[in-house]
Structure 1
Amino acid sequence: MRPLNRRPRISFGILFALATTAAAASEGELRVCADPNNLPFSNSAEAGFENRLAAMVAEHFGQQVSYIWWAQRRGFIRNTLKAGRCDVVMGVPSGYELVETTKPYYRSSYVFVTRQDQHLELSSLLDPRLHHLVIGVHLIGDDGNNPPPAQALGDQGIVDNVRGYSIYGDYRQADPPARLIEAVESGKIDVAAAWGPLGGYFAQRSPVPLTVTPIRDYERFPSQQFQFTIAMGVRKGDDALRDRLNAFIDEHRSEISSLLRSYGVPLVDQSVTVSGGHE
C-alpha cells in the first residue's frame, strides 16, 4: 500500500509526452462532449442544433468534428471535459461554475405548451385557470429537482393537479424529454411548462397543432428565473479556445439565430435586461 502522505511520482518527460500526444491528436479536430440522445440539442445521428453549431464552428476553424458521447446528467462534465476526453460543450448556462464559459449565443425562456384547439392562451403562472388545469412539468436530476415554473406553482399551492415527467425518462427510447409534450398532444395534460428549446422543438414537430407561449412572470416571482442565457463551455484555463469561440460567436450571430429558429427555439432579445433574468 502506498503511504497516504506521498503522491506517486511521474516524470515531467512522461507528462510532456502525454500532453504533446493529446495536442497532436486534437489539432485537426474539434472535440465535442455531447449527449447521444438529447434532441433538440444533440444526438448520435448529429441531428441536433448543437451538432449543427459544432459543424459550423469546426468549418470556421478548418477542423473536423469528433464526439465523446455521454449522457448529460450528473457526472457529465467530470467524465468528459474535465477528463480531457473532449474540449468543448456546445450548450451550458452562462457562468456555469464547472467550466469556463464563452459569451452567450442565445437567450431563451420557459414556455407554456398547449393544444391550439383548447384556445387557452396562457402566459402567466398567476392565471387562475392553473388551479384547475392539469399541468405537466419536467423533473430534473436524480432527486427530482423542480424547475422554476414548478417552484412558482408550488409557491401558490398548485400541487395536486401538477404531473411530473423526468427529463431523462426512459433512455432506451428516443428523445426522452418529448414525453412531456406528447402528453399535451394526447390530452393527458392540459398544459406543459417546459424549457423553451424543448417545448418549441417538439411542438414544431407535433402532428397536433400546439401553441408555444413564453412565461412572462419576470417580477412576480423574484426568487425564480424564467429566462437564461446559454453559452459554450471549455475547460477552466483554456482561454485560447474560449477566445476563438467568442470570436466565432461575434462573427456568426445572425447564422446562429437562424439555426436556432429553424429548430423552434424561442429567442429572447439579449440586449434587454429583465428583472430576475440571468445575464
Structure 2
Amino acid sequence: MRAWAKITLCFTLALSGLVGWAARGEAQTSDLVSTSSLRVCADPGNLPMSGKEQPGYENKLADLIGEKLGLPVTYTWYPMATGFVRNTLKAKTCDVIMGYAQGHELVLNTNHYLTSVFALIVPKEGDLADVTTLSDEALKGKRIGIIAGSPPADHMARNGLIGKAKPYALVVDRRYESPAENMLNDLDEGTIDAAILWGPIGGPLVKSDHPDLKVIPLIHETLPPKMYYRITMGVRQGEKVWQRKLNSLIRRHQDEINAILAEAGVPMVNDMGDAVLDVMQ
C-alpha cells in the first residue's frame, strides 16, 4: 500500500547564511519545470489513485490542474516503490507527484489538499455495522485484515485484536498484486470479519467494487500513532516558484478538488483528523 509507504518523516532547515545561495538555487531549479505540459510522475498500476490503462482519482486531479494551467498532461510512469522519486522527480523527467504525504524529506510539499484517515471496513449488515472505535467489544475475537506495519496495527495490539489478525503485505508491485483488493475480497467471502485500510485506498475500492461493505473512518482513536495524514503534491526541493503556483491553484480550486475526491469515495476529515467533512458525494 504505497500511499501509506509515503507517510514517514518530517524535516526543517533554517540557516541564515544560506539565504543568498537558496535564492540562486530557486532561479536555477525553477527553469526545470516544463512550460509546454504538466509533467506528472505516477505509478502505472496504483488504482484507485493512478493507472496507465484506467484513470484513478489522482489522474483526474492532474487533468484539473493541467486545465487550470492551460497545459496538456503527460506522464512519467514508474512503480511507486524504492527509487520512485529518484527515478522520476529527481531525474527531472517530470515535475509533480499528485499525492504525497506532508512532511516527507524527499520532496518539497505543497499545501495539503486532502486530510484523510485509516478506516474500518465491515459488512453493511451485521454485528459490526455500528462500530466506531477499535476498543469496541464487538470486535473482540474477530479476524481483522491489516496491512502489516501500518499504524492501525499498534492500535489493534493495544486493544487485544492482533492475535487473530490476518496480515497483508505492505509493499508490493501493484501491477501484479493488490493487498487491499485481496483483503476486501476476503471480507466479501467471509474469510475475515473486518478490514482496516488507508481511507484513500479502501474508500474508493469499496465504492467501485464492494457495494455490501461499509467504510467507517477511525476518527476517534486518540492515542499514538496517529491515524490521519495530510496529503500534498510533491515537487523538487528548491522549486519554490512552482510550489507557490500549485499552492495558489489548490487554494482557488479546493471545491473542485473535493468534488473529485468525493466522487471517487475518498473519506475526507478535518485537519485534526477528528471529524468527517460533510462533502456531497
Given the two structures, how large is their TM-score scaled by the length of structure 1?
0.81
1:103 and 2:104 are equivalent in the alignment:
no
Aligned to 2:65: 57
Aligned to 1:249: 250
Aligned to 1:133: 142
Aligned to 2:131: 122
SS in 2 for 1:177: helix
Which protein has the larger Cα radius of gyration, Structure 1 or Structure 2?
1
Residues paired across the two proteins, number: 246
Q: Spell out, residue by residue over 1:188-236, the C-alpha distance to the aligned partner (whole angstroms, 9 max, x if none).
A: 11111111111111111234411111113342x2x21111110000000
Q: Please list every run of 5 or more consecutive structure 2 residues that lacks an aligned counterpart in the other structure.
A: 1-27, 276-281
Q: For 2:221 and 2:85, how far apart are their aligned partners in 1?
A: 30
| 8 Å CA contact retained: 1:124, 1:215 | yes
CA distance 1:199–1:273, shift in 2 (3 Å): closer
Aligned to 1:228: 229
- How does 1:1-279 map onto structure 2 within 5 Å? 23=32, 26-45=34-53, 47-120=55-128, 121-139=130-148, 146-169=149-172, 171-173=174-176, 176-219=179-222, 221=223, 223-270=224-271, 272=272
- Displacement of 1:175 in angstroms is 5.0
Q: Spell out, residue by residue over 1:44-68, the C-alpha distance to the aligned partner (whole angstroms, 9 max, x if none).
A: 0251111001111111111111111
Which is worse superposed, 170-179 or 120-129? Answer: 170-179
| 8 Å CA contact retained: 1:107, 1:229 | yes
Aligned residue type for 2:257: I
Aligned to 2:3: none
Q: For 2:62 and 2:251, how far apart are their aligned partners in 1?
A: 15
- Displacement of 1:176 in angstroms is 5.0
CA distance 1:242–1:47, shift in 2 (3 Å): same
Aligned residue type for 1:60: K
Q: For 2:174 and 2:196, how far apart are their aligned partners in 1?
A: 21
| 8 Å CA contact retained: 2:117, 2:273 | no
- Displacement of 1:23 in angstroms is 4.7
CA distance 1:46–1:57, shift in 2 (3 Å): farther
Q: For 2:175 and 2:47, how far apart are their aligned partners in 1?
A: 14
Q: For 1:110 and 1:151, how far apart are their aligned partners in 2?
A: 13
Q: For 2:177 and 2:58, how far apart are their aligned partners in 1?
A: 17
| 8 Å CA contact retained: 1:89, 1:233 | yes
Aligned residue type for 2:117: S
| 8 Å CA contact retained: 1:196, 1:214 | yes
- Displacement of 1:125 in angstroms is 1.3
SS in 2 for 1:108: strand
| 8 Å CA contact retained: 1:46, 1:52 | no
Q: For 2:111 and 2:247, how far apart are their aligned partners in 1?
A: 6
Q: For 1:98 and 1:259, how far apart are their aligned partners in 2?
A: 27
Q: For 1:170 and 1:71, how far apart are their aligned partners in 2?
A: 7
Q: For 1:172 and 1:207, how far apart are their aligned partners in 2?
A: 21
| 8 Å CA contact retained: 2:143, 2:192 | yes
Aligned residue type for 1:82: K
- Displacement of 1:273 in angstroms is 6.8
- Displacement of 1:164 in angstroms is 1.1
SS in 2 for 1:247: helix
**RMSD (Å) for aligned C-alpha atoms:** 2.2
Q: For 2:274 and 2:124, how far apart are their aligned partners in 1?
A: 28
- Displacement of 1:76 in angstroms is 1.1
Q: Please list every run of 5 or more consecutive structure 1 residues that lacks an aligned counterpart in the other structure.
A: 1-18, 140-145
| 8 Å CA contact retained: 2:113, 2:257 | yes
SS in 1 for 2:90: coil
